[in-house]
Chains A and B, each alone.
Chain A
C-alpha cells in the first residue's frame, strides 16, 4: 500500500472530530450529580477501537467486491430490521420503541445504523448502473422501493429521526445522479401537502403551484395525475381524518409517530438545552465547566443533546469550529465523490456525505430549537456504539474510494 495515496485531509478531519468528540463525551460525564454518564467515555473508547478496526477492514475491500456483496448486505440489513420489529427492545429516551436487538438481555446494537449504510450501498449499486439520469417518476420507483423498505421498517419501530435520515439520503443521491429539480419536487410534494394540509390557505396555494408546475414540465399524464391526486388526498383526506380524532387521540398518534415528542419531557429538555447553549455566550464557560450540565439540568447530555455541552462550554466560537469541521468533512467527501473512478464509488461516497449531513443538521438544529426533537445521534460525538462503528465503516469506504481514484490518476483531473 502506498501511504501517500491515502487521502490525508479526510483522515485529519475525521481524527480531529473524533478527538473533540471523545473529549466532549468525557466532559458530558463530569457532573456534580452522580450519574452513569461519568464512565461512559470509557465504553465509547472500546467502540472507537472497534470502529477503527471496521474502517481498516473496509479500506481493504475492493469496490468491485463491495458492489458484488451489496445485495447481500442490504438483505441482511432488512432481515435484521424485521427481527428488531419482532423481538426488539427500547432504551433511553425512546424506551417504548423497538429499536434495539438484544441477546439474553444484553443490548448489542441498533440495526438501523447499519441499515443506513446498507441502503446507501444498494441505492448506489442501482443508480450507478444507469447511464442516463432517471427522467420520469416511473424510473425513480426502483430507488423509491430500495429506500422505502428500510424507511417503513424503521418508521414502524417507531424511530422518526432515523426515518428522516433515509429521506435525506434518497434525495441527495437522486440529485447526485442528475435527477432534475422539478422531479425531486414532485417526489417530495405529497410530504409538503401533508405538512401544509393542517392549514387550508397555504395548502390551497401549494396545490395551485403544483398544478402550474405540472402544466409547465408536462410529465406523463398518468404520472401527473397520480402526483396531483396524492397531494389532494394528503391534504384533504388526512386533514379530515385528523380532525375527526379527539385531541387525546391526536396526541397519542403524534407521540406514537415520535415517542420523543412527549411534551412533558421535551418541553423541559428544549428549555434546558437552550439555556445551556445561550448561557455559554461567545467564549463558553470552559471545558468541563458547564454549570447547566454539571447540575444535571441538561438532559441526555451524552447522546441527543451533546452539542448543547459544546455550546455551553466552548461558546459560540466552539460551535463555529465544530460546524466548520463538519463542513470540511463534507467538502472532502464531495471532492472524493466527484473524483471517483467509477459511478458506483461516486454515488456511494455522496450517500455517505448525505447521511453525515442529515445527522448533523437534524441533531444540531434540535439542540437550538430549529428542528423538532427526534433524537438522532451526532456523528463522532454522541455516545452509541452502532452509530460510531457505522460512521467509521463509512469513512473507511470513502478512504478506499479516494485511494482508488489517486491510484488511477483520476483525482488529478
Chain B
C-alpha cells in the first residue's frame, strides 16, 4: 500500500477508498462523531476553497491523524456537494478537486502517473520518462481549444501521442473532473448530511443561488433572452449551467453579442460564470473578437457555420430560423415581430 501521506494527497484513488473501508467507520460516525471533527472541518474547507479559489487547497498535515482526517475529508466534501444539489456548484467543486490533483501530479514520476491513470480510467503506456496516450483518450481529455493542445500540433504515430509528465497530469485532471461530476450526479442527498451541516449547507446553497440569480435574472446588457435564437439560448444555458463551452461556441456567442452592440465589459460578465473562468485570458479573447485589441472585428458566424460546428440545435429550430441565415438576423426579426404583437 502507498503511504498515508500519498493517499491524503490523492484521496480519490481507489486505494484510499479501500483504506477507509478497513477503518470500519460508518457514515453516521463520520458525520456526527467527535473523533472525526477534523475530517468534517477539512471537508467543508475543501468545498469552500473549490468554489471560491478553484482549488480544494492544501491543509497543514502534521501527524498520522491529520493524514487520516484529510483522506476522510474527501468523502465528507462529496456528501456535502451532493446535498447542495446544484449542477453549477457540483462542477465547480469537481474542478477544484481536479485542479488540486493536477498541481500535485505534475511532480510525480511517469510510473506513478500511469498508475493513477489506470485507476481513474485513462490508460497509458510508459517508456522511461515518456508517456504514450492513445489519441482517442487524448482528444477526450485534452483542452484542444488551446492551439498547442490541438492534436495537429502533437506527434501522433500508430494511434499514440507522446506527452510529457506535466501534460499527462493535465489529461488526468480532466478525466478526474468528469469522473467526479458523473459520480456525484448519480448520488442523492442523505438526511444525516443535512443534519450534520445545517449551517454550511444553507450557506453553500445561498452561494449557488446567488450565482444562479446573477446569470439568470440579469438581462444580457440590453439583450433580451426571449429574443435569442435557439442556438444562442443553448450556449447561454450551458454557460449558466456551468458547463464548459467549446471554443467555437464561445467565439460565436461573443461575436453574436458584439454584433448586437453589447460591449466587451458586459460580455465578460457573462463569461465570469464559466467554471474555468480566467479573467485575463477571457478578456483578451473577448476583446480580440470584438476588435478592440485586434485589427479585425470578427463577423458573427452564420447559420451554416453554426451547423458545421454542431452548434445549431436542429430539433429546436422554429419558423424564424428557417427564414434567416444568421443568428443576428433572427434576433432582429424576432424583436420586430414581438413589437408588432
Do the two chains bind? no
